[in-house]
Amino acid sequence: MARIVTFGEALLRLGTPGFERFDQARSFDLEIGGAELNTAVGLVRLGHEAAWISRLPDHPLGRRVHSFVRSHGIDDRHILFGDGRQGLYFLETGAAPRASSIIYDRADSATARLKPGDFDWPAIFAGIDWFHVTGITAALSSNAAEAVKDAILAARNANARISIDLNYRAKLWSPEQAGRTMSHVIKDCDVLFASENDAKLLFGIDGDFAEMAKQFSARFGVKAVATTRREATSLWRDRLHAIGWQNGQTIETTAMDVEVVDRIGSGDAFAAGVIDGLLADDFAAGLHTGLAFAAIKHSIRGDLPLAAKDEVQSLLRGDGLRIRR
Amino acid sequence: MARIVTFGEALLRLGTPGFERFDQARSFDLEIGGAELNTAVGLVRLGHEAAWISRLPDHPLGRRVHSFVRSHGIDDRHILFGDGRQGLYFLETGAAPRASSIIYDRADSATARLKPGDFDWPAIFAGIDWFHVTGITAALSSNAAEAVKDAILAARNANARISIDLNYRAKLWSPEQAGRTMSHVIKDCDVLFASENDAKLLFGIDGDFAEMAKQFSARFGVKAVATTRREATSLWRDRLHAIGWQNGQTIETTAMDVEVVDRIGSGDAFAAGVIDGLLADDFAAGLHTGLAFAAIKHSIRGDLPLAAKDEVQSLLRGDGLRIRR
Amino acid sequence: MARIVTFGEALLRLGTPGFERFDQARSFDLEIGGAELNTAVGLVRLGHEAAWISRLPDHPLGRRVHSFVRSHGIDDRHILFGDGRQGLYFLETGAAPRASSIIYDRADSATARLKPGDFDWPAIFAGIDWFHVTGITAALSSNAAEAVKDAILAARNANARISIDLNYRAKLWSPEQAGRTMSHVIKDCDVLFASENDAKLLFGIDGDFAEMAKQFSARFGVKAVATTRREATSLWRDRLHAIGWQNGQTIETTAMDVEVVDRIGSGDAFAAGVIDGLLADDFAAGLHTGLAFAAIKHSIRGDLPLAAKDEVQSLLRGDGLRIRR
Amino acid sequence: MARIVTFGEALLRLGTPGFERFDQARSFDLEIGGAELNTAVGLVRLGHEAAWISRLPDHPLGRRVHSFVRSHGIDDRHILFGDGRQGLYFLETGAAPRASSIIYDRADSATARLKPGDFDWPAIFAGIDWFHVTGITAALSSNAAEAVKDAILAARNANARISIDLNYRAKLWSPEQAGRTMSHVIKDCDVLFASENDAKLLFGIDGDFAEMAKQFSARFGVKAVATTRREATSLWRDRLHAIGWQNGQTIETTAMDVEVVDRIGSGDAFAAGVIDGLLADDFAAGLHTGLAFAAIKHSIRGDLPLAAKDEVQSLLRGDGLRIRR
Amino acid sequence: MARIVTFGEALLRLGTPGFERFDQARSFDLEIGGAELNTAVGLVRLGHEAAWISRLPDHPLGRRVHSFVRSHGIDDRHILFGDGRQGLYFLETGAAPRASSIIYDRADSATARLKPGDFDWPAIFAGIDWFHVTGITAALSSNAAEAVKDAILAARNANARISIDLNYRAKLWSPEQAGRTMSHVIKDCDVLFASENDAKLLFGIDGDFAEMAKQFSARFGVKAVATTRREATSLWRDRLHAIGWQNGQTIETTAMDVEVVDRIGSGDAFAAGVIDGLLADDFAAGLHTGLAFAAIKHSIRGDLPLAAKDEVQSLLRGDGLRIRR
Amino acid sequence: MARIVTFGEALLRLGTPGFERFDQARSFDLEIGGAELNTAVGLVRLGHEAAWISRLPDHPLGRRVHSFVRSHGIDDRHILFGDGRQGLYFLETGAAPRASSIIYDRADSATARLKPGDFDWPAIFAGIDWFHVTGITAALSSNAAEAVKDAILAARNANARISIDLNYRAKLWSPEQAGRTMSHVIKDCDVLFASENDAKLLFGIDGDFAEMAKQFSARFGVKAVATTRREATSLWRDRLHAIGWQNGQTIETTAMDVEVVDRIGSGDAFAAGVIDGLLADDFAAGLHTGLAFAAIKHSIRGDLPLAAKDEVQSLLRGDGLRIRR
């Protein structure tokens, strides 16, 4: 069991029921998630302790998020409350050939309004083994970007290892802004989660996965790179595999078939698995755990990987699909 | 049948089901409303033609509002679409002794972002009999306040009569700002909807209803004043009556008992009834129609007075509560 | 335990959820009921055996009704299946001052299409103690009216006692038609359920309840008359009492307070209680049982009095409102 | 942007939730649709103006349909209100190997009761570019069939182009009746939507699609023929392509994979796309637009193709299934 | 039409809606089922008469089960009511790669508490053609095992044929206990439903299906053996076929594709079909009917095969998946 | 802020939606509660720290309870997991004159199966200010009764003050058993929550509240006694006041009107308020806080008093029922 810190924003997800279009909406189902929160919950499920650092609005919607976070066994001691909105996103779930659609409504949120000095980073990182953050947090505001850099510095000082998920969001910042900021953030990180697409867009890195990983290593000192690939010819069924690079070696897992209840958050579940592997110094195991965790996430409504460690292990052992009685 | 224009914002209302607290929310029921839209729909139900002027975000949530507005037979030709958020509010419905609670989330909305010159007021008011607006629209932004003033000028030029609902919202502006702006807006209006509370807060007007009305008449040339009173010793049952002042005369109706499904929008239904009366130059009839319309509104989920004219008339005739087969 | 036969139609009730208006409907809750079916189920709950005679459409909606009927322990052996529609009604539930509203859609139903000779009445009434029918069945079609008369004849031949509920429905026939047909139907019946209103409308009978009852006795040989009264100043709370006349004596019960979940079918529950009393030759007990049953019915969604005999007895004993654990 | 008129009936669709059988129904989800209404809404979505001609019952269910129609931006000026029922259909959604099932309950509807002379066809068609109707309208009653013929005559006189969807419904009329009436209706139409099955059944036309189209051209002067084909080995996934004939040429599109939320109304969406193409004198484009529109329709609950024009274009461009953020 | 008796327990099934995990549960959907009840309902659907023998708790949950049983046309005359709990199971429905999961909560149920002598077996079996029971009933308690043996003896004495479904449940008893008890129960039965897995586990029988069947015949006098096979590479789609052995012959059907709404109870539907065939002395027909019935069951929510006989026949005829109108 | 420990069981509450009877149930709404858990949550809401001691089943339903407990900010460090069932109760909510009804299904639960020595009481009570438990915990099993006694001993040794709620449950033990055990438990406690009814039943104490309190003081050294009284003439509205005794003085509060969404857990909310007062050595303030908390609880679905401290204070200040914006 390791101790992990993640840092980010949580959004209320307001999803139309079933496959209803926004045009037809009469109600919204509420889920709560955020990339770093999702990964923190995943790590708790895998047997670790995780704290989630954030700033929530000091009104009932912020407290709704707080209670949700607590319910999943997350260490909530460093969460701040203050002014600003509760970030939202609206979700319409598609069916082929109609893609799913998200409307973000997160500008000016309590998290985006955080100020340098809000968090006592050295205290937060005391005794911590790992720090995880994504590009989304850095994109929220310039203050948030500063806070991410401060957190990384503090994490390094505390000898915590660091993982970064690029997670580029075009609605939040331009590729140039993202590239500039993230080139500082990802420096020397222990593992970077990145797609070839984003690598190209933010850093002008060309080539296949192995080439991309080498470039990240060469230019930024990144120690490992990982991602998942989906074959997505459908929205209800998919086929995933993971690919990773470490020390010049590329590892590619076999693929897993998934029936898709909800694909949101699967990348964050994958990150949790990879971190779990790296905490045990076994990158290949991390890729497999991450893939299995991501695969199971597809079967779960909401952003969180609400699966137990033994379910992940059972999937890796090849246990079948019979009803568990 | 008269032709009416109203001008304002519509919000998505995200209400917890039943009496659930925000703490317990897992879904939100969607309703759509806004003071001036509610009154416009009321006037359509009473047999008039009504156009609603607004500016909606050019994305699926704005189009959701648009389709809702159209479904109620509102003239939508002058609605604009552009940037900005779709304004929201979150609603938790109470039960005594726990009051209902609203969290507004409307800052920076598409309507608040409207610009002077967005609307061609002279064209809008061609052939129009009545203009209705509330203090909420003026409170959205300084541009919106300017637009309200422009609209009133154009309405007067078109010889349309004018009604104003003060509708002070402390979350949107200070009493001073509101008093300053609204003193221009209400000038010479044909009827003002105002409570003693707001009169005191915004204009320092003291005294009972009749005294307040006299002051509005003396200071601002207001031709009539109207409001409803509730005896609210409970959230599930209430007892309402209406009171109005015109030409130095105060009229007070008898009271009506209501079982409260949803009290939001009852003031806007009242306004529709009063305007209907004044369009026929019968203020007393307007007060009774308005009260009956407001009473029925309490029985209807959502912000709109979805009742037919003959239901209002039937209530005024004293028809009872037997099932209509 | 006695053996009872009732004869009538069952309708699908398509009700808007909560207090939604038809304007707002996005779904309908399904209930199933019909005056004579409701009374039959009430009698089964009070410990008797009851058969319900009807004709249902031979398609899945008719079979849905059939399965519903069976679930309540009703003897279904004499139910016929054939052509014609499944009768419906649409229900919108009100809140004061908005009354509830029903749209019937029952024309040309399988029951209305029944033909003389469809039922083997002598076989049906073999060994039967009581027959109950309402004016609704007679109003469905002229064939149905004939069948009601045939059934009454057969019941008399089998020495079964007979109860009739006038239940005048203006949508189905005129007062003249109803008066003409029902004057045959109610002849010499053991108990007639009738309101002063309907007595006046159909038979020109004036006067208070006692006077009305005397007239029914004098003109039609009716042996007893019973009805309930409600004080309905509200749709959510009511206060009921029962009143009956037998052998020149008028009996009036004390009143019961009810919180109204669903008032439909309460008259049919009352009928079941009165019949239960008369089966034990105790009219006064029947009035009390009927009132208690009707009162409990108000607390139950749907048309049926889904209460146990001991609940009725407990209410009559004056047991309070504490949670039963 | 063209101006289109369609003419037909709208039904309330009462569907069991999920995959519930009628046996299990406890509620029904309400949708509203009708072949010509669906196509009109599709044409509005594709950027045109469309009026829908119909006759609705003058009670709250008819007004519910009216408000639904208005919400979709349909020109409602020519809709009549009168006596008759609101037509219904009950829907049970299947899963392989259990087919979906529909129970129609539309006899004696307000639309079926329309009378010759109800509509002022010349006024309706003033300035109109296109008229669309299906065989269902003609099948409702002999008056309705006459009205269809009158409408076609008026459309021709107004130089509007005409499309007909055969849409044979065995529950409404016999193949002979349908063949006799429709042979007048389809005469010289600009495009006919027909399957080989119906062509054989109604007109004794044998052969493959091209052969059938040639016969329609030769015998009835039909200018183009179009249809979709599905490979339906499953109820949850399907694969569609379109096929069309014009001027002796047969065009067959490539196929599209769909995940089926609701297949009802997909033919009407196809018709809207084809009409859109023909309005621009590009039949091939119409087939592709129609296919894409029909494909997207499968992903949308209800009878209507609630997709935007740019979604159709995006699908034709080959944009993938990634979440749109 | 034959007369059948089955004997077993019914459980309340408390299932999370959709694919919700137990972690996320806020409500449970209620279904009711039990292996022998499911088969009895299947036999009623196939046109037979069936009685279900059980012991239910004498409180509202037991009565809820009773009313459910009655609604499906089951003969309920021999159901007893007494002390003990109402057995439950909690169900979470999976999506690949997450299997579905069941938590049983049935210990100490009213059925498990039945006592020898509770049932008058000779009276129950008078005039009965077939008796069906599964290993689950025998596993409930030692008294229940005795009752199963008594029932089989009485069935034989009444010349009823007998079918047994092994249905081994590891949560209820050990393989040794099960093997010991069931070796008495299955003796000389007319058909045994058993998988190779359970045969190996309980009786140490090795080999393929034919070998297993031969052993059952040789060691226990079993006259026929049948089972279904699924190819389950997914939870939402499956492919089933049936396999049977009788008189030394193995029969294997072709396969059927299913879209899985709910797979629970499909084995019991299969049993009903096989029994139906054997009642007509046509084992091969029974295997096909059973397979079709089981296939359709997959499309139906809940434990029961709520399909009509003509739907089974239509599937066997190869009717397709078009909407039935 | 004080530190509190409570000890007890939590049950899943499976409630029929709305006012559905068990007869009608098709789904159950899930709530989670337990007397001591409810009070602990109340104390957290009032600003204290609270740990809840319990033993949960080591399966997903036990983990569902765990996550629920955590979400409310309860210290969960001492919760044990082990064998045994998850206790349940089924709830049907009434409307006058039909009382609500509960079916307990909690026998043999994980909590009832706790063993002496399971908890390290001295460690649990280190630094604790207050201990609260009810008679329900003592009634679960003899081991549980022993554990309660051990806990009280440890609490005393730690100088924690102690509150006991008699909470007699006739389904769990006899008055004699309860009286015998509880006479040890309540000894010298700082406050006892007891009704005159239970005092009479368990200890033979007669007389009014003051007399009862004096007897508890005299016989058991109880330092204060408190209870609430309801005027319950209805299930939807009630009127409550509190009454307390300390040092020979009886204090009776004024009454509060409540609209009843859910009355379950209101006594536990009252206990939290009284303890809050006593922690500040102000019994009278505690009675008022407790009453206000209990009153608000009636407006909240579920067993928990999910209200903020400032809502309680606002009610005590007499703030009205206006919507909070």
The Cα of F47 is separated from the nearest Cα of chain A by a number of Å equal to 15
Q: Which amino acid type is present at position B94?
A: G
Q: Which residue in A98, A94, A106, A109 sits closest to A15, CA to CA?
A: A94
Task: Please give the average per-residue pLDDT across A125-141, as a whole number.
Answer: 98
- Res B116: pLDDT: 83
In this predicted model, what pLDDT tens digit does every residue of C173-210 receive, in sequence order?
Answer: 999 999 999 999 999 999 999 999 999 999 999 999 99
More confidently predicted of A233 and F126: F126
Place D79 in a pLDDT band, splitting at 50, 70 and 90.
very high
Kindly report the length of chain A. Answer: 325
Task: Please give the average per-residue pLDDT across E154-162, as a whole number.
Answer: 97
Single out the catalytic residue among A268, A282, A303, A319. A268
- Res A233: pLDDT: 74
Pairing verdict, β D11-15 and D88-92: parallel
Please enumerate in sequence order all residues whose Cβ is within 8 A of that of F239, keeping only pairs 6 or more positions apart, or say none: F230, F231, F255, F256, F257, F258
Catalytic residue status for B129: no
Interface of E with D in 293-322 (CB under 8 A): 295-296, 298-302, 306-307, 311, 315, 319-322
C20 close contact with B: CB closer than 8 A: yes
- Mean pLDDT (chain A, rounded): 97
Size of interface D-E (CB pairs under 8 A): 74
Please check whether residue C83 is in contact with residue D112, taking contact to mean a CB–CB distance below 8 angstroms: no
Nearest CB neighbour to E102, from listed A296, A315, A325: A325
**Rounded percentage of chain A residues whose pLDDT exceeds 90:** 97
CA F140, distance to chain mean position in Å, is 15
The Cα of A101 is separated from the nearest Cα of chain B by a number of Å equal to 10
- Res A142: pLDDT: 96
The Cα of A218 is separated from the nearest Cα of chain E by a number of Å equal to 38
Q: Which of E66, E69, E71 to mutate against chain C (most C CBs within 10 Å)?
A: E71
**CA E116/CA E168 separation, integer angstroms:** 23
Contacts of C306 in chain F (CB under 8 A): 21, 23-24
pLDDT at C232 over 90: no
Contacts of F64 in chain E (CB under 8 A): 22-23, 25
The Cα of B229 is separated from the nearest Cα of chain C by a number of Å equal to 17
Q: Which residue in E51, B146, C188, E97 sits closest to A324, CA to CA?
A: E97
Residue C2: count of CB within 10 angstroms of its CB: 19
Asked whether the beta carbons of residue A18 and residue D301 sit closer than 8 angstroms, the reply is yes
pLDDT at E317 over 80: yes
Nearest CB neighbour to B301, from listed C24, C102, C170: C24
Contacts of A300 in chain E (CB under 8 A): 19, 21, 98
Nearest CB neighbour to F27, from listed E28, E60, E88: E28
- Res C78: pLDDT: 97
D258 close contact with A: CB closer than 8 A: yes
Place F233 in a pLDDT band, splitting at 50, 70 and 90.
confident
DSSP SS3 for E271: helix
Beta strands in C198-261 (DSSP E): 224-230, 237-246, 249-252, 256-259
Name the neighbours of F, counting chains with at least 3 Cβ pairs within 8 A: A, B, C, E
Residue F175 preceded by cis peptide, ω within 30? no
- Chain B residue whose CA is closest to C233: B321
- Res C320: pLDDT: 86
Contacts of A88 in chain B (CB under 8 A): 88, 105
D169 close contact with E: CB closer than 8 A: yes
- Chain A residue whose CA is closest to F65: A71
**Rounded percentage of chain B residues whose pLDDT exceeds 70:** 100
In this predicted model, what pLDDT tens digit does every residue of E55-95 receive, in sequence order?
Answer: 999 999 999 999 999 999 999 999 999 999 999 999 999 99
Place F264 in a pLDDT band, splitting at 50, 70 and 90.
very high
Task: Please give the average per-residue pLDDT across C47-54, as a whole number.
Answer: 98
Place F224 in a pLDDT band, splitting at 50, 70 and 90.
very high
F81 close contact with E: CB closer than 8 A: no
Contacts of D296 in chain A (CB under 8 A): 97-98
Q: Which residue in D74, D50, D54 sits closest to D62, CA to CA?
A: D54
Single out the catalytic residue among D268, D276, D282, D303. D268
In this predicted model, what pLDDT tens digit does every residue of B260-287 receive, in sequence order?
Answer: 999 999 999 999 999 999 999 999 999 9
- Chain A residue whose CA is closest to B109: A105
Q: Which residue in F112, F117, F208, F109 sits closest to F154, CA to CA?
A: F117
Contacts of D257 in chain A (CB under 8 A): 96-97, 233-234
Q: Which tokens belong to F248?
A: 């020979």
Q: Which of E11, E13, E22, E23 to mutate against chain A (most A CBs within 10 Å)?
A: E23
β-bridge mates for residue C241, sequence order: C229
Contacts of B22 in chain A (CB under 8 A): 60-61, 63-64
CA E238, distance to chain mean position in Å, is 20
Task: Please give the average per-residue pLDDT across D265-279, as a whole number.
Answer: 98
Q: What is the CA angle F133-F136-F141, rounded to 5? A: 110
- Res C42: pLDDT: 98
Contacts of A96 in chain D (CB under 8 A): 257-259, 299, 321
pLDDT at B51 over 80: yes
Name the neighbours of D, counting chains with at least 3 Cβ pairs within 8 A: A, B, C, E
Asked whether the beta carbons of residue C104 and residue B325 sit closer than 8 angstroms, the reply is yes
Q: Which amino acid type is present at position E59?
A: H
D259 close contact with A: CB closer than 8 A: yes
The Cα of E95 is separated from the nearest Cα of chain F by a number of Å equal to 18
For every residue of C151-202, DSSP letters joined together read HHHHHHHTT-EEEEE----TTT--HHHHHHHHHHHTTT-SEEE--HHHHHHH
Distances (CA, A) of D294 to D230, D298, D304, E36, F100: 11, 7, 10, 45, 52
Q: Which residue in C103, C117, C118, C63 sits closest to C86, CA to CA?
A: C63
Size of interface A-F (CB pairs under 8 A): 16
- E strand or H helix at D256: strand D256-259
In this predicted model, what pLDDT tens digit does every residue of A78-94 receive, in sequence order?
Answer: 999 999 999 999 999 99
- Res C325: pLDDT: 86
Q: Provide the whole-model pTM.
A: 0.97
Q: Which residue in D279, D266, D321, D298 sits closest to D42, CA to CA?
A: D266
Place F325 in a pLDDT band, splitting at 50, 70 and 90.
confident
Asked whether the beta carbons of residue F101 and residue C324 sit closer than 8 angstroms, the reply is yes
Asked whether the beta carbons of residue E235 and residue A321 sit closer than 8 angstroms, the reply is yes
- Res C116: pLDDT: 83
- Chain D residue whose CA is closest to E324: D101
- Chain D residue whose CA is closest to A21: D300
Asked whether the beta carbons of residue A71 and residue F67 sit closer than 8 angstroms, the reply is yes
A104 close contact with D: CB closer than 8 A: yes
Catalytic residue numbers of F, as ranges: 268
Q: Which amino acid type is present at position F167?
A: N
Q: What is the ipTM of this complex?
A: 0.96
Q: Which residue shows structure tokens 């300035």?
A: D127
Catalytic residue numbers of C, as ranges: 268
C72 close contact with E: CB closer than 8 A: yes
Q: Which residue in C109, C153, C111 sits closest to C131, CA to CA?
A: C153
**CA A50/CA A78 separation, integer angstroms:** 11
pLDDT at A154 over 90: yes
Please check whether residue C27 is in contact with residue D30, taking contact to mean a CB–CB distance below 8 angstroms: yes
pLDDT at E325 over 90: no
Contacts of B315 in chain C (CB under 8 A): 97
Q: Which tokens belong to F146?
A: 């022993």
Asked whether the beta carbons of residue D233 and residue E257 sit closer than 8 angstroms, the reply is yes
- Chain A residue whose CA is closest to B60: A22
What is the tally of helices (H) and strands (E) in chain D?
A: 11, 15
